[in-house]
Amino acid sequence: MPLDYDELMATKVVDLPVSYTDSDVILYALGIGMCSNPLDPKELPFVYEQGAPLCTVPTLATVLVPDMFPPDLGWDFGNVLHAEQRLELYRPLPQKADILINKWVVDAFDWGPRKGAVILFGAEGRLASDDTVLFHLGCTVMARGDGGFGGPVGKGPRPHRAPRREPDLSCDIDTREDQSLLFRLTGDRNPLHADPATAAKAGFDVPILHGMCTYGIACRAILKTICDYDYTLIKSFDARFTAPVMPGDTITTDMWQDGNIVSFRCTVKARDTIVLRNGKCTLAA
């Protein structure tokens, strides 16, 4: 059954209650590899709450929205590809909070039966106590099996372009072979990230790392290299996913800094593969 454009555009959830605690903050930080050296004084405040307020990784916001793109839209969910992620933070995330989530379909484009459909989703998180807006999320999803449903032809947001010069800075971060098993506890239980048989059917030798984990590792690299771990500096974080990371890979994040804009790209040099591109991080001015 093809997608119904009108029904799709009417898809909306309002005031979905979500609560998170310091345990969720710590689990996310561990999931993106924070404090692999447990004596690191810069990363310990992201995973240990004693002595000072717990620091929150800005990209934690991306795992606070349940089913950002839900499986029951009438599409071929097994053929869905998360292509881009966008995040705008209006204030640093608290170390625990009760929040209300609004989420909706922003737009949908029909690229035809051979190319599929492009669907844009949005979400907003607000403090339940006083309705203060914490963050806004946007993501672009390729529904490769759902083109030809009769929707308009169009494109999503124009991707950010990195400067045409050598990177100003670079940061290597190792991933662990069991990292996808840990990161899946933040919410994405897709067996592609845990079950060798499922991974093999998809053409992979091993279960792959979550794209959102790679996204979080890129944020960690910028926190480490440019922000000196001041998580309050990051105001937005956008990127496009281009290839999977295998647990155990080393991710190299190349960065170009122009004022308060950091362009970035993530590569697995061992396979000469760009895994994340068109990255744009906006810092506090």
- DSSP states along 221-254: HHHHHTSTT-GGGEEEEEEEE-SPPPTTPEEEEE
How confident is the model over 198-207, as pLDDT tens digits?
999 989 999 9
How confident is the model over 221-259, as pLDDT tens digits?
999 999 999 999 999 999 999 999 999 999 999 999 999
The Cα 138–Cα 155 span in angstroms is: 14
* pTM for this prediction: 0.96
3-state helix, strand, coil in the chain (%, to 5): 25, 35, 45
Give the pair of three-digit tokens for residue 268.
Answer: 């697995």
Question: Looking at 4, 22, 168, 188, which residue is catalytic?
Answer: 188
**Residue 9 dihedral angles phi and psi, to the nearest 5°:** -70, -20
Per-residue pLDDT at 72 = 86
Cα separation values, 239 from 19, 44, 252, Å: 26, 26, 15
The Cα 67–Cα 51 span in angstroms is: 35
Cβ contacts of residue 228 below 8 Å, gap of 6+? 42
Question: Looking at 24, 193, 210, 254, which residue is catalytic?
Answer: 193
Domains and CATH numbers, the chain: 5-143 (3.10.129.10), 169-283 (3.10.129.10)
Q: Report yes or no: 159 and 84 within 8 Å, Cβ to Cβ.
A: yes
Q: How far is CA 223 from the centre of its chain?
A: 15
How confident is the model over 120-176, as pLDDT tens digits?
999 999 999 999 999 999 999 999 989 999 899 988 899 999 999 999 999 999 999
193 is catalytic: yes
Q: With pLDDT > 90 as the criterion, what percentage of the chain qualifies?
A: 90
Reported confidence tier of residue 1, pLDDT bands at 50, 70, 90: low
The Cα 232–Cα 223 span in angstroms is: 10
The Cα 78–Cα 194 span in angstroms is: 16
Q: With pLDDT > 70 as the criterion, what percentage of the chain qualifies?
A: 100
Strand, helix or coil for residue 102: strand
Sign of CA dihedral 189, 98, 11, 109: negative
Q: Which amino acid is at 181?
A: L
174 is catalytic: no
Tallying the residues shown for the chain, one arrives at 285
